[in-house]
Structure 1
Amino acid sequence: MATNADDTTTTSERRAWLTAPEWRSVLYFTLHGLGFLGSTLLMTWGLFFLFFLAIGGFSFDGFIHQLNNFTARYVTADPARTGAFLNIFAIAHMILSAVVITFRRDRILPDRLQERARDHG
């Protein structure tokens, strides 16, 4: 049976990973990463919007008519066809996301980390 006396690590050793500067760095990097992913997602959705706007003749009326046409066909489709559409949509979304991330690759790391990498590299 293990007791607290058997534990040889001290409290300061166990809490060494909880230092404030490290937590700040982790939170900063996490927030930057989530911001990058969120903005990439919004840009990808914007590309889908631009696609529907383009096939609608770059007019609001044409855009709404295209969305209405798309919605009517999607609602009346059988489950196999909607599943196929969802697969096509997922693949198109991944391709567009990869393209957007490729164009934004310099923004993946925060500026602070990029400066450090330049200084040490």
Structure 2
Amino acid sequence: MLFLLNDVVFDLDEACPAPSHDVRRFETLSFDYVLEMGCELFAEDPLLHRNDPARARRLAWLIAHRTEGVNAALFAAPDAGCPPELVEPRFCGLPEPIMRQLHARAAHGRLSAVAADKAVWGRMAA
């Protein structure tokens, strides 16, 4: 399963991003808790998906396993170190062909924040 987190596409079908004993712990987490955790992580580092891809991939894995049909998430933080309440999360389910296209663009180094925003979120359109 491909998952878009901000402007990075992760392949979640690869090996599980966490040790098996952690996976069992993750099973009890609610989506609300995962959402809160994501906001906290991106409040600390708005470029988490670039600066710590392993942690970002685990977050993507948790979101995908807590929601039905969601394969894209955006966490928009205004500044590093901002309060987590200021991080704006968005989620959506993209068709598989769109995800493959985004993955191909990323593999060729052509998926930027602006390109992902135009293709998925439309925040900069206004």
> If the TM-score is normalised by the length of the shorter chain, which range does it land in?
under 0.3
Which has more strand, going by share of residues? 2
Name the structure where helix makes up a greater proportion of residues: 1
Larger Cα Rg: Structure 1 or Structure 2?
Answer: 1
Using structure 2 for the length normalisation, give the TM-score. 0.24
For normalisation by structure 1, the TM-score amounts to 0.25
